Amino acid sequence: MNYYKEIKNELINNEITKRVKDYSKNKSDLTTYYNVGKLLSEAGKHYGEGIIREYSKRLTVELGLRYTARTLFRFRQFFLLFSNEKVSTVSTQLTWSHYSELLSIDNIDEVNYYIRIGIEQNLSVRQLRERIKSKEYERLDDSIKSKLITKSSTSVTDFIKNPLLIKNNTNKEIISEKVLHRLILEDLDSFLKELGDSFSYIASEYKIKIGNTYNFIDILLYNIKFNCYVVVELKVTELKKEHIGQIEVYMNYIDKNLRTITQDKTIGIIICKKDNKFIMEYCSDSRILAKEYKLV
């Protein structure tokens, strides 16, 4: 087989398609780059690694387009990635620029995760890059990663990251819950994304009356997908047993006074400086979670 001729034809046909059929540009790009990557992989087996650099020089001269060796190497990476049976099939809902962001990831399960959220949440290339940079996949619990691999059903709490990244524009150590609270509200959109999908904001310092005493829930949220209220309490210390009791009271209050019969039970999230797994081991309420925060 004349690998060079086949590669050249693929690239020429793609350029023609992109000019004539604007609606199919992305599909044409992905199909072409996959096919070229396959040809490059086969050519490399016959002629060695140097063939990619040779093809790069010839293509640049003959087509008048800059197909660098690095670009051709990425086409081959693209083919090798998606020829792996453990990787999701190529989706045209993501662009070549999206897939380029994934080529440096070695973990196949991690690649599948970012493809999944990229499609489901309609992420831009910049947003996808930020999610990868924040090591979002690595901050998921191992049990959740197993669910994703086996495609098991997930719950409202599964995609809450640990630690949660909170932007700190003050460049100072947070010494009070009030300051931590303010930082979260200043970039509420990022905070909700750290929790996962479908979280919506209801109120800050939500006022409730228990007996003759007024109490204030730090942040009250609602998860649309899982149809439940979410109580969030902030602690700038290590998790303590009294924190469990406090949030449990608030959750029960919401269930009794706000939740309707069609809604699921309230979830509680304690965001703390340091988790205490021994305390959580003896927490009998599975609706309560403790997650550490990290200032970035």
The tally of domains found in the chain comes to 2
> Hey, is 52 helix, strand or coil?
helix
CA distances from 62 to 2, 66, 67, 78, 144 (A): 16, 10, 11, 24, 50
For tokens 């009794």, the residue is 256
The answer to whether position 146 is within a domain reads: no
Residues 272 and 292: beta-carbon distance below 8 Å: yes
Q: Say what the pLDDT of residue 255 is.
A: 97
CATH number at residue 258: 3.40.1350.10
Same domain, 84 and 216: no
pLDDT along the chain (296 residues), means of 10: 90 81 78 96 92 93 86 96 89 95 95 95 95 96 93 90 92 83 95 94 97 96 96 96 96 97 97 92 91 94
The answer to whether position 171 is within a domain reads: yes
Same domain, 132 and 196: no
The answer to whether position 49 is within a domain reads: yes
Q: Say what the pLDDT of residue 23 is.
A: 55
C-alpha span between 24 and 293 (Å, rounded): 44
Residues 98 and 121: beta-carbon distance below 8 Å: no
Q: What is the pTM of this model?
A: 0.87
C-alpha span between 237 and 274 (Å, rounded): 7
Q: Say what the pLDDT of residue 21 is.
A: 60
Residues 259 and 266: beta-carbon distance below 8 Å: yes
Same domain, 133 and 196: no
C-alpha span between 140 and 177 (Å, rounded): 25
The parent domain of residue 21 ranges over 3-139
